[in-house]
Amino acid sequence: MSLLKMIKNPQDLKAIQKALLPQVCKEVRERILDVVSRKGGHLGASLGATEITVALHYVFESPKDKIVWDTGHQTYGHKILTGRSDKLETIRQFGGLSGFILRKESEHDTFGGGHASTAISAALGMAAARDVKGENNKVVAVISDGCITGGESYEGLQNAGHLGADLLVVLNDNQMFISHRVGAMGTFLAKILTLGIVTKWEKRLEKFLARVHFWGAGLVRLGKRLKVLLFPGILFEEMGFSYFGPVDGHDIGRLVEVLEAIKKVKGPALLHIITKKGKGYEHAEKDVFGWHAPGKFDVNTGEIQKSAGSPTPFTKIFGQTLVRLAKEDKRIVAITAAMPDGTGTDQMRDAIPERYFDVGLAEQHAVTFAGGLATQGLKPVVAVYSTFLQRAFDQMENDIGLQNLPVVFVLDRAGLVGDDGPTHHGVFDLGYIRLIPNFVHMAPKDENELQHMVYTAVKYDKGPIALRYPRGASLGVEMDKEFKLIPIGKGEILKENPADQAFVLAIGSMVYPAMEAAQALEKEGLRVGVANMRFVKPIDKDLLKSLIQRGIRKFITVEENLLAGGFGSAVMETLEGEQVQITRIGIDDHFTEHGTQPILRDIEGLSPEKIAEKIRTLLPKRTQQTAAIA
């Protein structure tokens, strides 16, 4: 009989005998594998966190007790145990479950998570709120070893230690960072430490050593060194936390035992758990990077489905271009914030490792680090997702823009990214980068223009420069063999006719949809020109003025970005005072949910059909009637 079918909420889990929890873990893994193999999604992290998830929900009282997850990659098991197993088939699909933590989705989702390193700060806020209101519940933050490399995690830890908050941080160390030590001794230490005896005697020893002045400082230093050897969590201890572990994260019985003991401990505590990413599925265990989010695959053979004949992804083209340029220019160095494969910098890592830097999940540091490199004559290329670069806006402004340092920013996943949803949609960078003085920001219409923009960017030495490109396969256009410099701030007219009634000004990924829309309208007798503007900053003022001189009075801007402050806003500012009508097509003032890129673009009015539909409403009815008669 399936135990999982009996579990509709965490209370049902508690009714199951402790001896049967290994079977629950097995069924949770099977459910995750079944769904992800058919629907796609994040796999390795959720498989690795299965026992942690089951143990937490078995010991704590969610939603009264608050369990805060970092990022959400590891939460498919959490969704299963909190009443969403039947809906797991819809995960990351339009109208279905989010692939991350979403507060409106469940009362057990205590804090939304898509960007890393936020769990400790959010959990501390909940713990502080509990104390202010005089309530009595536990708060647990679950954070992975990778996410704890982010600076916000340490800000949260030091504040929690300072406040002495009653908070448990569970460090899910999946053997990709920090300690690999695990075994009976680690579990034994955790069990002993939960009794409070060791902590009590440790504090007495420290007081004793502090009083024995006549033995000098040497004995105090010796005592501290012994403490480092005896207590592996010295870093966390020094920040005010009681450290427990490491504990085997796949021994569900011992996990429950340790958590039940720690639950009685007051004050900030950290439980260090060692897990294996991809645990329970051989293929995912052997290749943790490839199976982080593998897409659809055959569970039995481990064969990942690949689209036959698909054009090379934009990400790979960027990586290839960067390596080619770096071999010619010794100044070029690549920087990524723990996303080498996702940004294409893995190719630089493999080809020229001495000029490749992975700084961990630390976007703020990545930007200022790049600034330091630039002051010494190097040409740093910071490759990061558009949505993640938002975290380093202050550094871009003060450390790069203000000092006018020649740093190159390459933004992957710009625009609507699809299934990852609102935490990952890169629909803000046209606005937030345009705000910063000295920055240049551009977007290619296709992969051929992308390689030329990367070349232009590394050759540009007058200040910071950024470019963005979309997620997914490129368009399959022919690639030039030689690189070409693109004049800064210059667009190009792709389609024009003396009888044009309006002109579409498109940027980046919207250029080809705008062309399709214009061609469809032309079949109806409606004349609309199209320009590939290339640059959001600086805008090509000469191109716009030349169109006005031709008699164009209707302009339509199209961007895969939020309208507020974006490309269309830049055009309006540029043409302020001119007797023209400007209509902006883009994303309105809201967060777009998850779904495939074609579905989302159509909903947001960015498909060729929706662009054409909008333009029709702007042209005089008499013109349309005349066209129909013709």
Q: What is the CATH number of the domain that holds 134?
A: 3.40.50.970
Q: Tell whether 477 is covered by a domain.
A: no
pLDDT-based confidence at 210, cuts 50/70/90?
Answer: low
Residue 46 and residue 195 share a domain: yes
Q: Which of 31, 79, 92, 391 is catalytic?
A: 391
Residues 134 and 262 in one domain: yes
Active site residue 391: yes
Q: Do residues 450 and 519 share a domain?
A: no
**β-pair partners for 384:** 411
Q: What is the mean pLDDT of residues 191-211?
A: 53
Do both 371 and 240 map to the same domain?
no
Same domain, 454 and 497: no
What total of structural domains would you count in the chain? 3
Q: What is the pLDDT of residue 290?
A: 83
Q: What is the 3-state secondary structure (H, E, C) of 66-134?
A: EEEECCCCCCHHHHHHHHHHHHHHHCCCCCCCCCCECCCCCCCCCCCECCCCCHHHHHHHHHHHHHHHC
Does residue 307 belong to any structural domain of this protein?
A: no
- 224 and 117 together in one domain: yes
| Annotated catalytic residue within 66, 84, 254, 277 | 277
Quote the mean pLDDT of the chain.
89
- What is the average per-residue pLDDT within 383-397? 97
In this prediction, residue 192 carries a pLDDT of: 47
Q: Read off the pLDDT of residues 410-469 as tens digits, 9 standing for 90 and up.
A: 999 999 999 999 999 999 999 999 999 999 999 999 999 999 999 999 999 999 999 999
Report, as an integer, the average pLDDT of 597-618.
Answer: 97
Domain boundary (247, 267, 286) is at 286
CATH number for the domain that contains residue 548: 3.40.50.920
pLDDT at 292: 85
Strands 242-248 and 168-173: unpaired
Phi, psi for residue 589 in degrees, rounded to 5: -75, 70
pLDDT of residue 621: 64
Q: Which residue has the higher pLDDT, 294 or 573?
A: 573
280 and 346 belong to one structural domain: no
pLDDT at res. 177: 41
Residue 239 in domain: yes
Residue 7 has pLDDT above 90, yes or no: yes
pLDDT of residue 225: 47
623 versus 72: the higher-pLDDT residue is: 72
Model confidence at 596, pLDDT cuts 50, 70, 90, reads: very high
For the question of residue 277 being annotated catalytic, the response is yes
Determine what percent of the chain is predicted with pLDDT higher than 90: 75
Summarised one tens digit per residue, pLDDT across range 255-266 is: 999 999 999 999
Contacts of 446 (CB under 8 A, 6+ apart): 474, 475, 477, 511, 512
Active site annotation includes 495: no
For residue 478, is it within any domain? no
282 with 320, same domain?
A: no
Q: Residue 62 above 70 pLDDT? A: yes
Could you tell me which residue, 303 or 512, shows the higher pLDDT?
512
The reply to whether 294 falls in a domain is no
Per-residue confidence at 359, pLDDT binned at 50, 70, 90? Answer: very high
Catalytic option among 363, 559, 560, 604:
363
Over range 602-623, report the average pLDDT: 90
Q: Determine, yes or no, domain membership for 112.
A: yes
Whether residue 386 is found in the same domain as residue 423: yes
Last residue of some domain: 286, 303, 332? Answer: 286
Confidence grade of residue 67 (pLDDT, cut at 50, 70, 90): very high
Within this chain, do residues 496 and 553 fall inside the same structural domain, yes or no? Answer: yes
- In this structure, the answer to whether residues 445 and 410 fall within a common structural domain is yes
Q: Is residue 351 part of a domain?
A: yes
| Residue-range definition of the domain harbouring residue 18 | 11-286
293 occurs within a structural domain: no
Residues 78, 199 within the same domain: yes
Scored b (16 or more CB within 10 A) or e, 151-177 reads ebbeebbebbbebebbbbbbbbbbbeb
